[in-house]
Amino acid sequence: MHKLQLMAHKVDVNARTFASAAQEALAAKREKGQGTIEYIGIIVVISVIIAGLVFFFNGEGKTAISEGITDVIDSIFSKKQ
């Protein structure tokens, strides 16, 4: 009976070792392309910001900003009493 218990223990240790190695291999495989996905996300966000700025400054945004700055300067230096 002692020999059978020793064999069962060896099988248990080998199975646990195999399961641990398989789990580590799967974890490494899942994280392999993570950096690429993050860089693509950053590029998409920057592209959307640039497109928004181009759209804003080609339309009425440019005049709205200049009129707003002019109004602020006029209100600061106006001689209302």
Stretch 14-36: mean pLDDT: 79
Angle between helices 34-58 and 61-77 (to 10 degrees): 70
**Which of 10-29 are b and which e, b meaning 16 or more Cβ less than 10 Å from the residue's Cβ?**
eeeeeeeeeeeeeeeeeeee
Rg (CA), the chain: 33
pLDDT score recorded for residue 80: 57
Taking the model in full, what pTM does it have? Answer: 0.42
Nearest-angstrom CA–CA distance, 2 and 23:
32
For 48-60, what is each residue's pLDDT tens digit? 888 887 777 776 6
For tokens 């920057």, name the residue. Answer: 46
